[in-house]
Each structure stands twice: as C-alpha cells, then as structure tokens.
Structure 1
Amino acid sequence: MKLIFTVFAFVLLHLTYAQYAYFPEAGIIHYEKTVHVKNFMKRQMSLSKDDGFDRTYVEQLMGKAPDTYIFKNKLLFQGDESRYEPVKEELTGVMRNLIWFGFDYSTVYYQNQHNGAFKSVAEYVGSNILTVDSLLQVKWKITDEYRTIAGYNCRRANGVVLDSVFVVAFYTDDIPLSSGPGAFHGLPGMILGLVVPEQHYNIYATKVDFTQPQISADLGKKKDKPMTREELKVFLRDRMRVGDWSTEQQLNFLLTNLYL
C-alpha cells in the first residue's frame, strides 16, 4: 500500500510540474558574438588576389589587432516572429581602423516561422543592403551532446548551410520558438549557441529576459531596393569586379557573412 501511494505521489508531482512548467513564447535574448580577428584577417588575405591588399599595411594592422573582439546583439521573439539586431556600441582601439574587413555589418534580421518570410538589412560600404527572401534552409543533425548556456540546458546540432558551410548550434526546447541568431532556425527550440568556423566567430546567449517586445518587420529605408539572395550575389559580383579586382572565393566569403 505504501509503495502504491509513493508511485501515485510521484506521478501527481510530475503531472503538476508539467502543467505549470513555464515555456516562454516572448522575450529578449542577449548574445555576444566573438570574432577571432586575426584568423578572420588571415582568411581574407588568403582569398584575395595578389594585388588585392597592400599587404605591408595589412600586416602592420594585424600586429596591432586583438586576437578576439566581441559584438553584442539581441534577439526579440514573440510567437512565430523574431528580430535579431545589434546593440550599438562605439568600436574600441584599433578596431575602428579594421572594421572595413567585414567582421560585422551591423545586420538586422527578421524571421517569420509561420509564413516563411525572411528579411535582413546590412551596412555595406556606406549604404544598406536589403535582402527579402524565404527562410534560409539548413540541414541539421541532432547529437547527444549537451551544454548549459545562459542557465538553459541546450542540445547540440551540427548543420550544413549554403551547400557547404558547416555550423554548430546549441538549442533549448525550453524556449519553443524555432529561431536563433542571424538567419538560423529549423531546430525544435531556440538556438542559444552558434559556431561558424569558416567565418571565425561564435555566438552565445548571456541572458534571457521574459517580456513582450514589439517586433517590427520593417527594415532599412524606403529608398533601399530589396533583393533576393540570388540577386544580391549578382549585384556584388558586379560591384566587386570578380575576376579583375577580387576573386570568386572572396565573393563567397562575403556572401556567407551577409547571408548568415
């Protein structure tokens, strides 16, 4: 009889927990994006044409550059919508002279999981690049590795995006929206950790605030011309004078940074 009572109490406790467990559907997630600056610069130089950089000047800058630099971002989410945007801060030290390398384009991303809509706007060479397309497709494989991020138990997933770019994500199903930093989504929960080795950066959540943010799908300015990802590729190929001033590898590296 005592055993039956114990089992009954355990089941009742479990059901009570499940009934009252809080799974937030709205809030703000704070992230830090850590860029491995010198590795990024070396990658850029290795992809350029021999005359694409003043190598002596760049090598001097590289000697002054920090090994890593942190950019802060936040993700506003509510229901099926999310908006990922930078936290505006003044660049410090030599980074003011290095930002043209493209470590970060202060990109704002909007995703709607219900209708599959995607938008982004990036600051590029003094103007905005506005992309309007469908959600980016990522092929995920969920693993049995776990990690705690910002107080949440997260599960690892390995992914491939843009045909060949390898990424690692850590997601939590305690936040049920299938979204994450940048253009990433497609896992059974919110992505709180992300690593993109090819682009030499990682992104990890530092804090989650439960609130009701106002999420706007309006990006850029009225004069900005929206482009699909394919149209953006054609536009940049012409602007970068691929084959004359730059290489195909440089174009793909830049596009990956802008897409993700």
Structure 2
Amino acid sequence: MKSIFTLFIAFLTVTTFAQKDFQGKAIYMSKTTMDMSSFGGRGGGQMTEARKKEIADRMKSILEKTFILSFDKTSSIYKQDEQLASPTAGGGSGFMAMMAGSSVEYKNTKDLIALEETEFFGKKFLVSDKMETPKWELGSETKQIGNYTCFKATLMQDADPTDWTNMRRRGNDEDKKGEAKKDSSNVVKVSEEFERPEQIEVVAWYTPQIPVNNGPGEHWGLPGLILEINSGRTTILCTEIILNPSEKEVIEAPSKGKEITREKYNETVKTKMEEMRQNFQGGRGSRGRN
C-alpha cells in the first residue's frame, strides 16, 4: 500500500512539473543573530544588558524578515514580502537609512543571468552578477522540512565584504587575542576595531521533490529547490510552498536603476561605510574634547 502511495505522489510530481506554464511560490523567514560585543567603543566600558536589549529590539525589523521566491523551471524573483515590511526602526538617518532600501533579486539559471534591483542611500542601482555554478559538496544526511525530504549540501564561499552582520570586534583581551591569532589566516581587517571572516561555510538543505535548480537570494545550483540556508549568522527557512498558485507573478528581469557590476557596487558601499565610520569617530572625538 505504501509503495502504491509513493508511486502516486511521484506521478503527481512529474505531472505538476511537466506543465508548460509551471510556477511555484515559496515563503522564507530570514533571521540573523547579532554579536552584541560589537557595540560600544573601545574604552567605553561594558554595555548593560538593558541597553543591549534596546538595540536588539530596534534592529529587529532588519534582522528578521519574510521573503517570497516566485519561480518557474529556470528563473526566479526573490523579494521581501511588502505586506510585512515595516519602516526601519530608529528613524531614517545614518546606518539605519543605509539598510532601509528594499531589493528585487532575479536569477535565470539557464542563461546564467543574475540581476538585483536595489536602493542604497536613496539611489537606485541595477547590479549585475557573474553566475558561476556553485561547487556544492553533496552529502547523504537528510531531514524533513514540512512535507519535503531534504538533503544536505555544503559550500565554502568568499564572505560578502558589504555584509556587516558577519563583522566582529577585534579581540581586546587575552582570550580574544588568542582566538584572533588562531583565525588570522581567515579574517580580513576592516578597521582598527573590526574584522570579518574571509570565507564562510554555507549549509543548504534542498529537496529533489521540487526539481528546480533554484533557491532563496543568490543561492542555487542543487538538484532541487533549496528550502533552508545557514550562512554565517543568518538562517533562511522555507515555511510555505505553493505549486501552481492561482495568481501567478510575471517573472522577468528588473530594469530600473543605474547599471553597475557587483564589484563596483561593493566598492561604492564600502566607501560609504568608511565615510560613515570616520564621521562617527570624528563626532565622538569632538564630544570627548568638550
């Protein structure tokens, strides 16, 4: 009886994905943890637990988001759920404003086209990426996510130089100095106070039951839809899948914004972040001289 049921499910799966106008929608929850030791300047003393909680609460709208992946057999659109998106906590200036812009990420895994329509400090960009097939290491470990059996895959990749969530304070006590020394071959100095890993491990869980070469954000390249990603301090987990929804979205490449390569865009972001850091330190130094 069980084998008959399995064959029936397999038949439905093949039939579903054989449809010419097949489309699916996956809902993902993204959550990023923060290293609270990164807050507070050198020599400024320990931050109180109450202050840490206040900062964490203000950052919640940035660190916890809901995204929608609309996909067909070869292409996808990934963007934040507009209904659940909220104004950035803490006002519209400084660092918070930098993170406030939303984005639309498009991938075509057949033609190897990746574009991101994004906003940074009030300016719109159309960022193009090189799409090279990721060198995933496929494992045999499995786990269940909802109704889908998922397989594990791992990948070492260069850390995004603009991803501030992976930055950490450089050690200023003996234990942290030892840790920093041990990891010195795999970290990049960002400033006198901060560093970031040079590479990070990405762990993906994909299901062959949905045989599309796609996943959330920039992630793709596995023989099945990626339902979970663990990368650095960020976890992206699929909470709902709808195959052939009644209301289908037009999946097409975005076209708005100044055209720029990913490399040039990262340089722009890093330059602005450095300007902000220097302005912040200059303001803090001025206050200290008064």
Q: TM-score of the superposition, structure 1-length normalised?
A: 0.70
Query: Aligned equivalents of 2:48 and 2:278: distance in 1?
Result: 17
TM-superposed deviation, 1:230: 1.4
Moved more, 78-87 or 101-110: 101-110
Which amino acid in the other structure matches residue 76 of structure 1?
A: S
The 3 A distance-change label for structure 1 pair 62 and 145 is same
Match of 1:63, as an amino acid? K
How big is each residue's C-alpha offset from its partner over 1:93-128, in whole Å with a ceiling of 9 and x where there is no partner?
A: xx6128828778533211101100001123322233
Looking at structure 2, the residues matched to 112 and 58 of structure 1 have their Cα atoms a distance apart, in angstroms, of 47
User: Equivalent residue of 1:132, what SS?
Assistant: strand
Q: Which amino acid aligns with 1:143?
A: G
* CA displacement, residues 24-53 of structure 1 (integer Å, 9 cap, x when unaligned): 4421011111222x33x545x59xx969xx
User: Offset at 1:19?
Assistant: 6.7
SS in 1 for 2:135: strand
The alignment covers a number of residue pairs equal to 224
Q: Which runs of 5+ in 2 are unaligned?
A: 18-22, 160-198, 280-290
Q: Is the 8 A contact 1:81 1:215 kept in 2?
A: no
Q: What amino acid sits opposite 1:108 in the alignment?
A: V
Quote the offset at 1:237 in angstroms.
3.6
2:164 aligns with: none
Where does the alignment leave 5 or more consecutive residues of structure 1 unmatched?
Answer: 1-8, 247-260
- State the Cα RMSD in Å: 3.8
Does structure 1 residue 235 correspond to structure 2 residue 264?
Answer: no
How far has the Cα of 1:236 moved from its partner?
2.6
Q: 1:188 to 1:239 in 2, by over 3 A?
A: same
Residue 142 of structure 2: which of 99, 124, 146 is its match?
Answer: 146
128, 131, 153: which is aligned to 2:127?
131
C-alpha separation in 1, matches of 2:66 and 2:144: 20
**1:73 and 1:85 in contact (8 A); partners too:** yes
Is the 1:138–1:160 Cα contact (8 Å) retained in structure 2?
A: no
Percent pairwise identity: 21
User: Which residue, out of 215, 221, 241, partners 2:250?
Assistant: 215
Question: Does the 8 Å CA contact 1:128/1:220 hold for their aligned counterparts?
Answer: no
TM-score, normalised relative to structure 2:
0.64
Q: Which secondary structure state, in structure 2, belongs to the residue aligned with residue 240 of structure 1?
A: helix
Taking a change above 3 Å as real, the CA distance of residues 21 and 111 of structure 1, as seen in their structure-2 partners, is same
Would you say the 8 A contact 1:157–1:170 is kept in 2? yes
Secondary structure of residue in 1 paired with 2:141? strand
